Structure 1
Amino acid sequence: MGEDGLAFDRMRPRLIRIAYRMLGSLAEAEDVVQDAYVRWHKTDRVAVANAEAFLTRTVTRLCLDQLKSARARRETYIGPWLPEPIFEAEPEAGDADDLTLTLMMALERLSPLERAAFLLHDVFGQDFDTVAEAIGREPAACRQLAARARDHVRAARPRFPVSRDRGLEIADAFMAATRSGDVTALRSLLAADVVAQADGGGKRPAAPAPIIGGQAVAQFFADLSKRPGYLPPQILARGLIDGLPGIVSLQNGVLQTTAFAIEDGRIVAIYVTRNPDKLQRIGAMVGASGE
């Protein structure tokens, strides 16, 4: 491998993180970065003053193109759409950002350009001149785009987040309460305005729309334990799912992840991913594939 290839490999993890945060799919992010790699090798690199800026610009523009088709696909997606979950048993120092699943969902409500400007500047530390070159807008416009995105993210960011260990204690308590079907115990763990979403992608059973409110969410999960043929969830791994306390489990033979956004000691959002297309990597990690 030549020096240019080694340079690209050093930047690959960062480029994949940028693309994943833009697209919400690790598989699509890797495809975009591979496309950027091909373009990099076809480029006269003598004329490239800054390799990182060039590759960031290339990946960003490829992601913006990809988002056009991705948004069209999501309009016909069956049920709620969640990003492909990334699971970490332990967070890797220096290799993560603080953009949790909850904040990624907030970015989903933004335009592609707003998302790109915010991610490049606020998350990945690019100056606005570099951001402007990447997305094809003036620096002043990029500042406005990032500011609008920042307002959305600020509103979604928890004011009183919990530690990883405390978060997993609450997640364990929630899973125990779902096994017993104890509505009171479930309700005590949930914020009044909690929202639960499940992504089955039309390929696994899942709630067809978000469930809102503490009583409704508690009753929904309690009722699961009373269904014919119910088997208690088998917990395969505990850790962080896109920065949130989370559980990987088998529920009646179906592999799923459950991530919990927790604020001030109460669960404010539950994200359940059951779509098998989004769980292949996690299944390989924990040695399970489900049905």
Structure 2
Amino acid sequence: MTTTLRLGTRGSTMALAQARHVARGLEAAHPGLTVLLVPVSTHGDRWTGSLATAGGKGAFTSEIDALLQAGDIDLAVHCLKDIPGDVALPEGVHIAAYLPRDDVRDALLSRDGRGLSELSRDAVVGTSAVRRQAQLLRARPDLRVKPIRGNVDSRIARMDAGDVDAIVVAACGLHRIGQAHRITEVLPAEIMAPATGAGTVVVTTRVHGEAATLVTALDDPDSRDPGLAERALLRRFGATCNSAVSGHATLDQNTLTLRAAVYAPEGDRTLHTVVAGDRTHAPALGRQAAEELLALGARKLLDPYLR
């Protein structure tokens, strides 16, 4: 058996925390195995402008994927929501494991401890996610949304410095980096429907090789099947990071239910659907949800923002 695996990861506090979690899991599952972390500075981490102009979500994964394809690393750890949904994974690379899913909800952090309904009129909320912007404006059209990029620590620092009054970030990410105490309000899915892939960490490997086999020890089918449905939804749309799409699949024994929606970025129009079926048909259910939304006119909301 291989005794050492090289794990590629972004260098942010959150990415490193996720990578260490995976490394510990692999070493526990395979006594004698050592997992070495290989931090990678990606274009998305270095870019300070709009993510859409940086190449979309692929800006966070393409350089790591290239190292994986070249054999310079053996596996990589990503947030599923950061893997582009509008294109296939690079040739020879696949998702070898879906880790158990964490909280999918978003959280509001505010400087003065006010929840979403309590923020003052014209309060400035920082987020660069079109999905979050649309739902914030749907709930509170009087708010002002300001694009804000960077890792979670830097976004919190900008809020504390007064650049914005509040920010919206993933609740699970705050828990992973020990910042859960900063949460002012966890936003219910009825107000802030989650991103596709939210709360799920995945491990990618080359399709062939021992790493792919070793990593399966971490795979959780109850996380994989919802992830497959949500990614199929995105793929059918050709949706990018600049598309306001939500999709959340849940399981009740063998029945998978997918709630999906498309939003106008201004928050004034929303299309939604719910589909359900056997979990073994997860990708087909994702495509079905997309087709139903397209039949309702989703393309008119998506097209201006697709690249």
TM-score by length of 2: 0.25
More strand by share: 2
TM-score by length of 1: 0.26
Flag the structure with more relative contact order, 1 or 2, with Cα contacts below 8 A and sequence separation at least 6.
2
More helix by share: 1
